[in-house]
Chains A and B, each alone.
Chain A
Protein backbone atom coordinates (compact mmCIF):
# COMPACT_ATOMS: atom_id res chain seq x y z
CA UNK A 1 0.00 0.00 0.00
CA UNK A 2 1.69 3.22 -1.17
CA UNK A 3 0.88 5.40 1.81
CA UNK A 4 0.88 2.72 4.50
CA UNK A 5 2.46 3.51 7.87
CA UNK A 6 3.37 0.10 9.21
CA UNK A 7 6.79 -1.30 10.01
CA UNK A 8 7.46 -5.03 9.66
CA UNK A 9 5.93 -6.26 12.92
CA UNK A 10 3.37 -3.51 13.66
CA UNK A 11 0.38 -5.47 12.40
CA UNK A 12 1.28 -8.52 14.49
CA UNK A 13 1.53 -6.37 17.63
CA UNK A 14 -1.81 -4.79 16.92
CA UNK A 15 -3.50 -8.13 16.33
CA UNK A 16 -2.08 -9.39 19.60
CA UNK A 17 -3.49 -6.44 21.53
CA UNK A 18 -6.88 -6.95 19.88
CA UNK A 19 -6.69 -10.65 20.67
CA UNK A 20 -7.30 -12.09 17.22
CA UNK A 21 -5.07 -14.23 15.06
CA UNK A 22 -5.56 -12.52 11.71
CA UNK A 23 -7.06 -9.51 10.01
CA UNK A 24 -9.55 -11.83 8.29
CA UNK A 25 -11.10 -12.55 11.68
CA UNK A 26 -12.09 -8.90 11.93
CA UNK A 27 -14.26 -9.33 8.84
CA UNK A 28 -16.12 -12.43 9.95
CA UNK A 29 -19.30 -10.42 10.45
CA UNK A 30 -19.70 -10.14 6.69
CA UNK A 31 -21.99 -13.06 5.79
CA UNK A 32 -19.97 -15.66 3.91
CA UNK A 33 -22.35 -15.65 0.96
CA UNK A 34 -21.89 -11.92 0.48
CA UNK A 35 -18.10 -11.71 0.66
CA UNK A 36 -16.43 -10.24 -2.41
CA UNK A 37 -13.98 -12.05 -4.63
CA UNK A 38 -10.77 -10.35 -5.76
CA UNK A 39 -11.34 -6.96 -7.43
CA UNK A 40 -10.64 -6.91 -11.14
CA UNK A 41 -8.43 -3.84 -11.09
CA UNK A 42 -4.87 -3.34 -12.26
CA UNK A 43 -1.90 -3.88 -9.98
CA UNK A 44 -0.70 -0.96 -7.87
CA UNK A 45 1.17 1.57 -9.97
CA UNK A 46 4.36 3.05 -8.51
CA UNK A 47 4.45 6.84 -8.44
CA UNK A 48 7.04 7.03 -11.22
CA UNK A 49 4.80 5.16 -13.66
CA UNK A 50 1.58 6.70 -12.47
CA UNK A 51 2.92 10.22 -12.89
CA UNK A 52 3.92 9.36 -16.47
CA UNK A 53 0.43 8.01 -17.14
CA UNK A 54 -1.14 11.19 -15.78
CA UNK A 55 1.14 13.41 -17.86
CA UNK A 56 0.17 11.36 -20.91
CA UNK A 57 -3.55 11.69 -20.24
CA UNK A 58 -3.34 15.41 -19.54
CA UNK A 59 -1.39 15.89 -22.75
CA UNK A 60 -4.20 14.26 -24.74
CA UNK A 61 -6.35 17.28 -23.90
CA UNK A 62 -5.89 20.30 -26.17
CA UNK A 63 -5.64 23.55 -24.23
CA UNK A 64 -3.38 25.35 -26.66
CA UNK A 65 -5.98 26.83 -29.01
CA UNK A 66 -6.87 30.50 -29.13
CA UNK A 67 -10.03 30.18 -27.06
CA UNK A 68 -13.10 32.43 -27.20
CA UNK A 69 -15.19 30.00 -25.21
CA UNK A 70 -17.12 31.20 -22.16
CA UNK A 71 -20.73 30.14 -21.73
CA UNK A 72 -20.63 29.98 -17.96
CA UNK A 73 -16.92 29.24 -17.33
CA UNK A 74 -14.27 31.85 -17.98
CA UNK A 75 -10.54 32.02 -18.56
CA UNK A 76 -8.91 34.62 -16.32
CA UNK A 77 -5.47 35.48 -15.09
CA UNK A 78 -5.00 34.10 -11.60
CA UNK A 79 -2.19 35.69 -9.59
CA UNK A 80 0.37 33.06 -8.58
CA UNK A 81 -0.18 33.80 -4.91
CA UNK A 82 -3.63 32.16 -5.02
CA UNK A 83 -2.45 28.61 -5.66
CA UNK A 84 0.58 29.08 -3.41
CA UNK A 85 -1.76 29.74 -0.51
CA UNK A 86 -4.11 26.91 -1.48
CA UNK A 87 -1.23 24.43 -1.48
CA UNK A 88 -0.77 24.81 2.26
CA UNK A 89 -1.90 21.58 3.88
CA UNK A 90 -3.35 23.52 6.82
CA UNK A 91 -6.10 24.62 4.43
CA UNK A 92 -6.73 21.74 2.12
CA UNK A 93 -6.29 18.82 4.55
CA UNK A 94 -8.60 20.19 7.24
CA UNK A 95 -12.34 19.55 7.24
CA UNK A 96 -15.48 21.41 8.22
CA UNK A 97 -14.65 23.60 11.25
CA UNK A 98 -16.70 21.62 13.77
CA UNK A 99 -14.12 22.42 16.48
CA UNK A 100 -13.80 26.20 16.25
CA UNK A 101 -10.88 26.39 18.70
CA UNK A 102 -8.62 24.66 16.15
CA UNK A 103 -10.29 26.03 13.01
CA UNK A 104 -10.04 29.79 13.32
CA UNK A 105 -8.12 29.99 10.05
CA UNK A 106 -10.87 28.39 8.01
CA UNK A 107 -13.61 30.17 9.95
CA UNK A 108 -12.14 33.65 9.58
CA UNK A 109 -11.41 33.05 5.90
CA UNK A 110 -15.05 32.08 5.33
CA UNK A 111 -16.25 35.15 7.25
CA UNK A 112 -14.02 37.30 5.04
CA UNK A 113 -15.37 35.50 1.97
CA UNK A 114 -18.93 36.20 3.09
CA UNK A 115 -18.01 39.85 3.66
CA UNK A 116 -16.32 40.38 0.30
CA UNK A 117 -19.10 38.65 -1.63
CA UNK A 118 -21.64 40.75 0.26
CA UNK A 119 -19.76 43.82 -1.02
CA UNK A 120 -20.03 42.50 -4.56
CA UNK A 121 -23.69 41.47 -4.44
CA UNK A 122 -24.95 44.31 -2.28
CA UNK A 123 -26.81 41.74 -0.18
CA UNK A 124 -25.91 41.17 3.46
CA UNK A 125 -26.04 37.40 3.82
CA UNK A 126 -23.74 35.07 1.88
CA UNK A 127 -23.62 31.32 2.45
CA UNK A 128 -20.25 29.68 3.02
CA UNK A 129 -20.60 28.04 -0.45
CA UNK A 130 -22.62 25.70 -2.64
CA UNK A 131 -21.54 23.19 -5.26
CA UNK A 132 -21.67 25.37 -8.36
CA UNK A 133 -23.72 27.99 -10.18
CA UNK A 134 -26.35 25.46 -11.17
CA UNK A 135 -27.00 24.04 -7.71
CA UNK A 136 -26.81 27.55 -6.25
CA UNK A 137 -29.49 28.77 -8.64
CA UNK A 138 -31.67 25.77 -7.84
CA UNK A 139 -31.29 26.30 -4.09
CA UNK A 140 -32.10 30.00 -4.52
CA UNK A 141 -35.28 29.14 -6.41
CA UNK A 142 -36.31 26.70 -3.67
CA UNK A 143 -35.71 29.43 -1.08
CA UNK A 144 -38.34 31.60 -2.76
CA UNK A 145 -40.89 28.81 -2.43
CA UNK A 146 -40.20 28.30 1.27
CA UNK A 147 -40.32 32.02 1.96
CA UNK A 148 -43.56 32.71 0.07
CA UNK A 149 -45.19 29.29 0.60
CA UNK A 150 -45.93 29.28 -3.10
CA UNK A 151 -45.00 26.50 -5.50
CA UNK A 152 -44.28 28.05 -8.87
CA UNK A 153 -40.97 29.43 -10.11
CA UNK A 154 -40.49 31.46 -13.30
CA UNK A 155 -37.07 31.15 -14.85
CA UNK A 156 -35.89 33.16 -17.81
CA UNK A 157 -34.54 31.32 -20.83
CA UNK A 158 -31.70 33.81 -20.55
CA UNK A 159 -30.44 31.76 -17.59
CA UNK A 160 -27.73 29.22 -18.46
CA UNK A 161 -29.38 26.05 -19.78
CA UNK A 162 -27.42 23.89 -17.32
CA UNK A 163 -28.73 25.99 -14.44
CA UNK A 164 -32.27 25.71 -15.78
CA UNK A 165 -31.80 21.95 -16.09
CA UNK A 166 -30.52 21.68 -12.52
CA UNK A 167 -33.32 23.88 -11.24
CA UNK A 168 -35.84 21.66 -13.01
CA UNK A 169 -34.34 18.51 -11.41
CA UNK A 170 -34.48 20.08 -7.93
CA UNK A 171 -37.95 21.58 -8.42
CA UNK A 172 -39.35 18.32 -9.73
CA UNK A 173 -37.95 16.48 -6.71
CA UNK A 174 -39.55 18.95 -4.34
CA UNK A 175 -42.91 18.84 -6.15
CA UNK A 176 -42.57 22.42 -7.39
CA UNK A 177 -43.27 23.87 -10.82
CA UNK A 178 -40.63 25.67 -12.89
CA UNK A 179 -42.03 27.55 -15.88
CA UNK A 180 -39.84 29.33 -18.40
CA UNK A 181 -40.01 32.95 -19.47
CA UNK A 182 -39.28 33.25 -23.21
CA UNK A 183 -36.69 35.51 -24.78
CA UNK A 184 -37.63 38.31 -27.14
CA UNK A 185 -37.22 36.83 -30.63
CA UNK A 186 -36.35 39.96 -32.65
CA UNK A 187 -36.08 43.72 -32.57
CA UNK A 188 -33.89 45.88 -30.35
CA UNK A 189 -34.59 43.74 -27.25
CA UNK A 190 -33.90 40.44 -29.03
CA UNK A 191 -32.19 37.87 -26.83
CA UNK A 192 -33.32 39.39 -23.53
CA UNK A 193 -36.08 38.22 -21.21
CA UNK A 194 -39.52 38.97 -22.65
CA UNK A 195 -40.92 41.32 -19.99
CA UNK A 196 -44.44 41.34 -21.47
CA UNK A 197 -44.50 37.57 -21.32
CA UNK A 198 -43.22 37.77 -17.75
CA UNK A 199 -46.04 40.14 -16.82
CA UNK A 200 -48.58 37.74 -18.34
CA UNK A 201 -47.09 34.73 -16.53
CA UNK A 202 -47.22 36.65 -13.25
CA UNK A 203 -50.83 37.72 -13.78
CA UNK A 204 -52.45 34.31 -13.33
CA UNK A 205 -54.07 34.51 -9.87
CA UNK A 206 -54.68 30.78 -9.80
CA UNK A 207 -50.96 30.06 -10.08
CA UNK A 208 -49.14 32.49 -7.80
CA UNK A 209 -45.41 32.78 -8.37
CA UNK A 210 -42.84 32.32 -5.59
CA UNK A 211 -39.80 33.59 -7.43
CA UNK A 212 -38.62 35.04 -10.73
CA UNK A 213 -35.13 34.00 -11.84
CA UNK A 214 -33.18 36.05 -14.41
CA UNK A 215 -29.47 36.38 -15.21
CA UNK A 216 -27.23 39.45 -15.53
CA UNK A 217 -25.48 39.26 -17.97
CA UNK A 218 -27.67 36.57 -19.46
CA UNK A 219 -26.36 33.42 -21.09
CA UNK A 220 -26.07 35.22 -24.44
CA UNK A 221 -23.94 37.90 -22.80
CA UNK A 222 -26.70 40.51 -23.00
CA UNK A 223 -27.58 42.94 -20.25
CA UNK A 224 -31.12 42.60 -18.95
CA UNK A 225 -33.40 45.29 -17.54
CA UNK A 226 -33.03 43.86 -14.05
CA UNK A 227 -34.80 46.69 -12.17
CA UNK A 228 -37.88 46.07 -14.30
CA UNK A 229 -37.77 42.28 -13.78
CA UNK A 230 -37.58 42.93 -10.05
CA UNK A 231 -40.43 45.46 -10.14
CA UNK A 232 -42.70 43.02 -11.98
CA UNK A 233 -41.81 40.18 -9.60
CA UNK A 234 -42.40 42.21 -6.47
CA UNK A 235 -45.68 43.66 -7.78
CA UNK A 236 -46.95 40.10 -7.98
CA UNK A 237 -45.72 39.23 -4.49
CA UNK A 238 -42.90 37.11 -5.83
CA UNK A 239 -39.24 37.24 -4.85
CA UNK A 240 -36.53 38.09 -7.35
CA UNK A 241 -33.46 35.91 -7.90
CA UNK A 242 -30.59 37.42 -9.86
CA UNK A 243 -28.12 34.99 -11.41
CA UNK A 244 -24.79 36.80 -11.34
CA UNK A 245 -21.22 36.47 -12.62
CA UNK A 246 -19.00 37.84 -9.84
CA UNK A 247 -16.26 39.56 -11.87
CA UNK A 248 -18.90 41.59 -13.70
CA UNK A 249 -20.09 42.90 -10.32
CA UNK A 250 -16.96 45.04 -10.14
CA UNK A 251 -18.65 47.27 -12.74
CA UNK A 252 -22.29 46.22 -13.07
CA UNK A 253 -24.99 47.29 -10.64
CA UNK A 254 -25.10 44.87 -7.69
CA UNK A 255 -28.29 42.84 -7.19
CA UNK A 256 -28.94 44.54 -3.86
CA UNK A 257 -29.09 47.87 -5.68
CA UNK A 258 -31.78 46.83 -8.16
CA UNK A 259 -34.04 45.06 -5.73
CA UNK A 260 -32.98 41.43 -5.96
CA UNK A 261 -33.86 39.38 -2.89
CA UNK A 262 -31.36 36.64 -3.70
CA UNK A 263 -28.27 36.52 -5.88
CA UNK A 264 -26.92 33.18 -7.06
CA UNK A 265 -24.15 32.31 -9.43
CA UNK A 266 -20.87 30.71 -10.33
CA UNK A 267 -17.72 31.83 -8.52
CA UNK A 268 -15.29 30.09 -10.91
CA UNK A 269 -14.12 33.37 -12.50
CA UNK A 270 -12.65 34.37 -9.11
CA UNK A 271 -9.33 32.55 -9.41
CA UNK A 272 -10.60 29.01 -9.91
CA UNK A 273 -9.19 26.87 -12.77
CA UNK A 274 -11.51 25.70 -15.53
CA UNK A 275 -10.64 22.00 -14.89
CA UNK A 276 -13.46 20.68 -17.06
CA UNK A 277 -16.31 21.87 -14.91
CA UNK A 278 -15.29 21.66 -11.30
CA UNK A 279 -14.78 21.83 -8.46
CA UNK A 280 -16.36 25.26 -8.76
CA UNK A 281 -18.00 27.65 -6.31
CA UNK A 282 -21.74 28.12 -5.94
CA UNK A 283 -22.61 31.58 -4.64
CA UNK A 284 -25.84 32.21 -2.76
CA UNK A 285 -26.47 35.61 -1.21
CA UNK A 286 -29.69 37.08 0.16
CA UNK A 287 -31.26 39.88 2.15
CA UNK A 288 -31.30 39.72 5.94
CA UNK A 289 -35.04 39.13 5.76
CA UNK A 290 -34.37 35.75 4.15
CA UNK A 291 -31.54 34.61 6.42
CA UNK A 292 -33.62 31.81 7.94
CA UNK A 293 -34.28 30.40 4.46
CA UNK A 294 -30.71 30.25 3.17
CA UNK A 295 -29.36 26.70 3.00
CA UNK A 296 -25.77 25.75 3.75
CA UNK A 297 -23.28 26.90 6.30
CA UNK A 298 -22.89 30.40 7.72
CA UNK A 299 -19.99 31.71 9.75
CA UNK A 300 -20.51 34.45 12.31
CA UNK A 301 -18.34 36.58 14.52
CA UNK A 302 -18.43 36.08 18.27
CA UNK A 303 -16.07 36.08 21.27
CA UNK A 304 -14.36 33.42 23.33
CA UNK A 305 -14.50 33.09 27.12
CA UNK A 306 -11.72 35.66 27.47
CA UNK A 307 -13.38 38.16 25.15
CA UNK A 308 -11.13 37.55 22.14
CA UNK A 309 -12.80 38.03 18.80
CA UNK A 310 -13.39 34.67 17.14
CA UNK A 311 -15.50 33.06 14.43
CA UNK A 312 -17.86 30.11 14.51
CA UNK A 313 -20.37 28.26 12.34
CA UNK A 314 -23.70 29.66 13.36
CA UNK A 315 -27.45 29.16 12.97
CA UNK A 316 -26.53 25.49 12.76
CA UNK A 317 -29.97 24.20 13.70
CA UNK A 318 -31.17 24.92 10.15
CA UNK A 319 -28.88 22.21 8.82
CA UNK A 320 -29.40 18.56 7.98
CA UNK A 321 -27.31 17.05 10.78
CA UNK A 322 -29.60 18.66 13.36
CA UNK A 323 -32.91 19.17 11.58
CA UNK A 324 -32.77 15.96 9.49
CA UNK A 325 -35.91 15.55 7.34
CA UNK A 326 -37.03 19.11 8.12
CA UNK A 327 -33.81 20.73 6.93
CA UNK A 328 -34.02 23.28 4.14
CA UNK A 329 -31.41 21.35 2.14
CA UNK A 330 -29.36 18.19 2.49
CA UNK A 331 -26.10 20.03 1.75
CA UNK A 332 -23.21 19.02 4.02
CA UNK A 333 -19.84 19.01 2.26
CA UNK A 334 -19.55 22.31 0.40
CA UNK A 335 -16.85 24.10 -1.60
CA UNK A 336 -14.88 25.75 1.20
CA UNK A 337 -11.49 25.49 -0.52
CA UNK A 338 -12.90 27.21 -3.60
CA UNK A 339 -14.35 29.96 -1.43
CA UNK A 340 -10.84 30.35 -0.05
CA UNK A 341 -9.45 30.56 -3.60
CA UNK A 342 -11.98 33.29 -4.40
CA UNK A 343 -11.03 35.17 -1.22
CA UNK A 344 -7.29 35.04 -1.88
CA UNK A 345 -7.98 36.10 -5.48
CA UNK A 346 -10.04 39.09 -4.37
CA UNK A 347 -7.51 40.04 -1.69
CA UNK A 348 -4.63 39.77 -4.15
CA UNK A 349 -6.26 41.57 -7.02
CA UNK A 350 -8.06 44.22 -4.99
CA UNK A 351 -11.00 46.42 -5.95
CA UNK A 352 -9.14 48.33 -8.67
CA UNK A 353 -7.72 45.13 -10.10
CA UNK A 354 -11.13 43.50 -10.23
CA UNK A 355 -12.55 46.51 -11.99
CA UNK A 356 -9.66 46.35 -14.45
CA UNK A 357 -10.38 42.66 -15.13
CA UNK A 358 -14.02 43.42 -15.90
CA UNK A 359 -13.28 46.52 -17.97
CA UNK A 360 -10.43 44.84 -19.87
CA UNK A 361 -12.79 42.02 -20.81
CA UNK A 362 -15.28 44.59 -22.10
CA UNK A 363 -12.54 46.33 -24.09
CA UNK A 364 -11.23 43.07 -25.57
CA UNK A 365 -14.76 42.02 -26.45
CA UNK A 366 -15.38 45.28 -28.31
CA UNK A 367 -12.15 44.70 -30.21
CA UNK A 368 -13.32 41.17 -31.01
CA UNK A 369 -16.72 42.40 -32.15
CA UNK A 370 -15.11 44.87 -34.56
CA UNK A 371 -12.63 42.32 -35.91
CA UNK A 372 -15.30 39.65 -36.47
CA UNK A 373 -17.65 42.16 -38.11
CA UNK A 374 -14.85 43.18 -40.46
CA UNK A 375 -14.35 39.50 -41.24
CA UNK A 376 -18.02 39.19 -42.14
CA UNK A 377 -19.64 37.96 -38.91
CA UNK A 378 -21.88 40.56 -37.29
CA UNK A 379 -23.63 40.41 -33.94
CA UNK A 380 -26.98 38.65 -33.86
CA UNK A 381 -28.44 41.00 -31.24
CA UNK A 382 -28.60 44.77 -30.82
CA UNK A 383 -28.61 45.00 -27.03
CA UNK A 384 -25.71 45.99 -24.79
CA UNK A 385 -23.29 43.31 -23.63
CA UNK A 386 -20.31 43.20 -21.33
CA UNK A 387 -17.76 40.70 -22.67
CA UNK A 388 -19.69 37.93 -24.38
CA UNK A 389 -21.94 38.10 -27.46
CA UNK A 390 -23.40 36.09 -30.33
CA UNK A 391 -22.29 36.51 -33.93
CA UNK A 392 -24.26 35.28 -36.91
CA UNK A 393 -22.46 32.91 -39.29
CA UNK A 394 -23.73 30.50 -41.93
CA UNK A 395 -23.35 26.82 -40.93
CA UNK A 396 -22.21 27.69 -37.41
CA UNK A 397 -21.37 24.08 -36.44
CA UNK A 398 -19.37 23.50 -39.60
CA UNK A 399 -17.45 26.76 -39.28
CA UNK A 400 -16.80 26.08 -35.59
CA UNK A 401 -15.37 22.63 -36.40
CA UNK A 402 -13.19 23.92 -39.23
CA UNK A 403 -11.86 26.77 -37.10
CA UNK A 404 -10.62 24.19 -34.57
CA UNK A 405 -8.32 22.91 -37.27
CA UNK A 406 -6.99 26.42 -37.68
CA UNK A 407 -6.19 26.59 -33.96
CA UNK A 408 -9.22 28.65 -32.95
CA UNK A 409 -11.84 27.59 -30.42
CA UNK A 410 -14.58 29.87 -31.72
CA UNK A 411 -16.80 29.87 -28.65
CA UNK A 412 -19.76 27.54 -28.93
CA UNK A 413 -22.49 27.20 -31.56
CA UNK A 414 -25.60 28.61 -29.90
CA UNK A 415 -27.58 25.69 -31.32
CA UNK A 416 -25.44 23.33 -29.24
CA UNK A 417 -25.77 25.41 -26.09
CA UNK A 418 -29.49 26.16 -26.40
CA UNK A 419 -30.86 23.62 -28.89
CA UNK A 420 -34.51 24.60 -28.61
CA UNK A 421 -34.33 28.30 -29.54
CA UNK A 422 -34.86 28.73 -33.31
CA UNK A 423 -33.83 32.39 -33.28
CA UNK A 424 -30.34 31.30 -32.19
CA UNK A 425 -29.80 28.57 -34.79
CA UNK A 426 -27.09 30.34 -36.81
CA UNK A 427 -24.92 31.80 -34.09
CA UNK A 428 -21.64 31.44 -32.29
CA UNK A 429 -21.45 32.61 -28.67
CA UNK A 430 -17.99 34.12 -28.21
CA UNK A 431 -16.26 35.70 -25.27
CA UNK A 432 -13.19 37.75 -24.45
CA UNK A 433 -11.51 38.40 -21.12
CA UNK A 434 -8.41 40.22 -19.94
CA UNK A 435 -6.28 37.27 -21.10
CA UNK A 436 -7.48 37.49 -24.70
CA UNK A 437 -4.73 38.99 -26.86
CA UNK A 438 -4.85 41.09 -29.99
CA UNK A 439 -2.90 38.35 -31.77
CA UNK A 440 -5.58 35.80 -30.86
CA UNK A 441 -8.31 38.11 -32.06
CA UNK A 442 -6.48 38.63 -35.36
CA UNK A 443 -5.99 34.87 -35.74
CA UNK A 444 -9.71 34.31 -35.17
CA UNK A 445 -10.76 37.06 -37.58
CA UNK A 446 -8.37 35.96 -40.31
CA UNK A 447 -9.34 32.31 -40.00
CA UNK A 448 -13.03 33.18 -39.94
CA UNK A 449 -12.71 35.38 -43.00
CA UNK A 450 -11.03 32.53 -44.85
CA UNK A 451 -13.70 30.06 -43.80
CA UNK A 452 -16.49 32.42 -44.77
CA UNK A 453 -14.87 32.94 -48.17
CA UNK A 454 -14.55 29.15 -48.61
CA UNK A 455 -18.18 28.75 -47.60
CA UNK A 456 -19.18 31.37 -50.14
CA UNK A 457 -17.24 29.57 -52.88
CA UNK A 458 -18.72 26.24 -51.85
CA UNK A 459 -22.19 27.81 -51.71
CA UNK A 460 -21.66 29.33 -55.18
CA UNK A 461 -20.56 25.96 -56.52
CA UNK A 462 -23.77 24.42 -55.26
Chain B
Protein backbone atom coordinates (compact mmCIF):
# COMPACT_ATOMS: atom_id res chain seq x y z
CA UNK B 1 0.00 0.00 0.00
CA UNK B 2 1.75 3.11 -1.26
CA UNK B 3 0.47 6.52 -0.14
CA UNK B 4 -0.84 8.44 -3.11
CA UNK B 5 0.26 11.94 -2.15
CA UNK B 6 4.02 11.36 -2.17
CA UNK B 7 6.81 11.29 -4.73
CA UNK B 8 9.23 8.35 -4.83
CA UNK B 9 12.71 7.41 -5.99
CA UNK B 10 13.74 4.17 -7.61
CA UNK B 11 15.91 3.61 -4.52
CA UNK B 12 12.77 3.55 -2.34
CA UNK B 13 12.83 6.97 -0.70
CA UNK B 14 9.61 8.97 -0.44
CA UNK B 15 9.26 12.76 -0.33
CA UNK B 16 6.31 14.82 0.86
CA UNK B 17 6.19 18.48 -0.21
CA UNK B 18 5.01 20.95 2.44
CA UNK B 19 5.23 24.46 1.02
CA UNK B 20 8.81 25.27 0.11
CA UNK B 21 10.02 22.46 2.32
CA UNK B 22 9.77 18.71 2.02
CA UNK B 23 10.02 15.68 4.30
CA UNK B 24 11.96 12.58 3.25
CA UNK B 25 11.89 8.98 4.44
CA UNK B 26 12.08 5.42 3.13
CA UNK B 27 9.09 3.39 1.97
CA UNK B 28 7.40 0.54 3.78
CA UNK B 29 8.63 -1.75 1.03
CA UNK B 30 12.24 -0.72 1.70
CA UNK B 31 11.84 -1.10 5.45
CA UNK B 32 10.35 -4.57 4.98
CA UNK B 33 13.17 -5.60 2.66
CA UNK B 34 15.80 -4.46 5.15
CA UNK B 35 14.14 -6.16 8.09
CA UNK B 36 14.53 -4.95 11.66
CA UNK B 37 16.11 -1.53 11.40
CA UNK B 38 18.62 -0.86 14.14
CA UNK B 39 20.43 2.33 13.18
CA UNK B 40 19.90 5.39 11.00
CA UNK B 41 22.69 7.84 10.21
CA UNK B 42 21.45 11.24 9.10
CA UNK B 43 23.05 14.59 8.21
CA UNK B 44 22.89 17.44 10.73
CA UNK B 45 20.54 20.37 10.23
CA UNK B 46 22.29 22.93 8.05
CA UNK B 47 23.83 20.30 5.80
CA UNK B 48 23.09 20.13 2.09
CA UNK B 49 21.46 17.38 0.05
CA UNK B 50 22.27 16.90 -3.58
CA UNK B 51 19.75 15.13 -5.75
CA UNK B 52 20.63 11.45 -6.34
CA UNK B 53 23.63 11.61 -4.03
CA UNK B 54 23.77 9.64 -0.79
CA UNK B 55 22.90 11.52 2.38
CA UNK B 56 22.80 8.86 5.05
CA UNK B 57 22.73 5.20 5.91
CA UNK B 58 20.15 2.86 7.29
CA UNK B 59 21.19 -0.38 8.96
CA UNK B 60 19.21 -3.45 9.83
CA UNK B 61 20.49 -6.46 11.73
CA UNK B 62 22.12 -7.96 8.67
CA UNK B 63 21.99 -5.35 5.92
CA UNK B 64 22.97 -1.81 5.23
CA UNK B 65 21.62 0.61 2.68
CA UNK B 66 22.55 4.09 1.54
CA UNK B 67 19.93 6.82 1.53
CA UNK B 68 19.64 8.70 -1.76
CA UNK B 69 18.40 12.29 -1.87
CA UNK B 70 15.26 12.65 -3.99
CA UNK B 71 15.99 16.37 -4.37
CA UNK B 72 18.64 18.97 -3.61
CA UNK B 73 18.22 21.32 -0.70
CA UNK B 74 19.32 22.43 2.73
CA UNK B 75 18.54 20.20 5.69
CA UNK B 76 16.35 22.12 8.13
CA UNK B 77 15.80 19.24 10.54
CA UNK B 78 16.78 15.59 11.02
CA UNK B 79 14.66 13.12 12.95
CA UNK B 80 16.71 12.78 16.12
CA UNK B 81 14.10 10.44 17.56
CA UNK B 82 15.42 7.66 15.32
CA UNK B 83 18.56 7.56 17.45
CA UNK B 84 16.80 5.88 20.33
CA UNK B 85 13.87 4.34 18.40
CA UNK B 86 15.05 3.28 14.93
CA UNK B 87 12.28 0.67 14.88
CA UNK B 88 9.67 3.31 14.01
CA UNK B 89 11.09 3.19 10.48
CA UNK B 90 9.65 -0.32 10.33
CA UNK B 91 6.39 0.44 12.11
CA UNK B 92 5.55 3.90 10.75
CA UNK B 93 7.83 4.74 7.79
CA UNK B 94 5.62 7.51 6.41
CA UNK B 95 4.94 9.14 9.77
CA UNK B 96 7.09 8.94 12.88
CA UNK B 97 9.81 7.23 10.84
CA UNK B 98 10.54 10.30 8.68
CA UNK B 99 14.23 11.11 8.28
CA UNK B 100 15.03 14.65 7.17
CA UNK B 101 13.23 17.87 6.34
CA UNK B 102 14.77 19.99 3.58
CA UNK B 103 14.27 23.41 2.04
CA UNK B 104 13.79 22.69 -1.65
CA UNK B 105 16.49 24.11 -3.90
CA UNK B 106 14.54 23.54 -7.10
CA UNK B 107 10.94 22.33 -7.05
CA UNK B 108 11.29 21.28 -10.69
CA UNK B 109 13.46 18.38 -9.53
CA UNK B 110 10.28 16.72 -8.23
CA UNK B 111 9.23 16.11 -11.82
CA UNK B 112 11.99 13.54 -12.23
CA UNK B 113 10.56 11.39 -9.41
CA UNK B 114 8.02 8.58 -9.56
CA UNK B 115 4.40 9.06 -8.60
CA UNK B 116 2.62 6.49 -6.46
CA UNK B 117 1.35 4.46 -9.40
CA UNK B 118 4.77 4.25 -11.02
CA UNK B 119 6.40 3.31 -7.71
CA UNK B 120 3.78 0.65 -7.06
CA UNK B 121 4.56 -0.83 -10.44
CA UNK B 122 8.28 -0.73 -9.67
CA UNK B 123 7.95 -2.78 -6.51
CA UNK B 124 5.43 -5.14 -8.12
CA UNK B 125 8.13 -5.98 -10.65
CA UNK B 126 10.48 -6.74 -7.76
CB proximity to A under 8 Å, residues B59-116: 59-64
Which 8 A-B pairs give the minimum distances between C-beta atoms? A317-B59, A317-B64, A323-B64, A322-B64, A316-B62, A322-B63, A322-B62, A317-B63
Residue of B nearest to A322 (CB): B64
A292: min CB distance to chain B, Å? 8
Main secondary structure of the interface of A (DSSP, over half): helix
Chain B residues with CB below 8 A from A322, complex form: 62-64
B62 partner residues in chain A, CB cutoff 8 A: 316-317, 322
A/B interface sample: 10 pairs, CB < 8 A? A292-B39, A315-B39, A316-B62, A317-B38, A317-B39, A317-B62, A317-B63, A318-B59, A322-B63, A326-B64
Contacts of B38 in A (CB 8 A): 315, 317
Q: B60 contacts which of A292, A317, A318, A323 (Cβ < 8 Å)?
A: A317
**Interface bits A281-317 vs B (CB < 8 Å: 1, else 0):** 0000000000010000000000000000000000111
Which residues does B use to contact A, with CB under 8 Å? 38-39, 41, 59-64
Per the bound structure, the CA–CA distance linking A292 and B61 in Å amounts to 14
- Interface of B, helix, strand, loop or mixed by DSSP: strand
Q: Write out the residue numbers on chain B whose beta carbons fall within 8 Å of the beta carbon of A317.
A: 38-39, 59-64
Tell me the complex Cα distance, A315–B86, Å: 13
Residues of A at the B interface (CB closer than 8 Å) are 292, 315-318, 322-323, 326
Chain B residues, Cβ within 8 Å of A318: 59
Knowing that A317-B60, A317-B62 are A-B contacts, what are 13 other residue pairs whose CB atoms are under 8 Å apart, sorted by A's residue number? Answer: A292-B41, A315-B39, A316-B61, A317-B38, A317-B39, A317-B61, A317-B63, A317-B64, A322-B62, A322-B63, A322-B64, A323-B64, A326-B64
Q: How far is the CA of A317 from the CA of B63 in the complex (A)?
A: 6
Query: Which partner residue on chain A sits nearest B61 by CB separation?
Result: A316
Residues of B within 8 A of A292 (CB): 39, 41
Residue numbers in A under 8 Å from B59 (CB-CB): 317-318
Nearest CB in chain A to that of B34: its residue: A317
Nearest chain B CB to A323 CB, angstrom units: 5
**Chain A residues closer than 8 Å to B60, beta-carbon distance:** 317
Chain B, residue nearest A312 (CB): B61
B residues in contact with A316, CB < 8 Å: 61-62
CB neighbours of A315 from chain B (8 A): 38-39
B60 to chain A, nearest CB (A): 7
Among A315, A316, A318, A326, the one with the most B-chain Cβ atoms within 10 Å of its Cβ is A316
Which chain A residues border B61 with CB–CB below 8 Å? 316-317
- Nearest to A327 among chain B residues (CB) is B64
C-alpha gap A322/B41 in the complex (Å): 16
Closest to B60 in A: A317
Nearest CB of B to A459, in Å: 67
- Chain A's nearest CB lies how many Å from the CB of B89? 14
Q: Which of B38, B62, B63, B64 has the most CB of A within 10 A?
A: B64
Measured between alpha carbons, how far is A323 from B39 in the docked complex, in Å?
A: 14
How many angstroms from the CA of A438 to the CA of B62 in the assembled complex? 57
- Cα–Cα distance between A315 and B62 once the two chains are bound (Å): 9
Chain B's closest residue to A316 (CB) is: B62
Which B-chain residue is minimally distant from A324 (CB atoms)? B64
Complex Cα–Cα for A323 and B60 (A) = 11
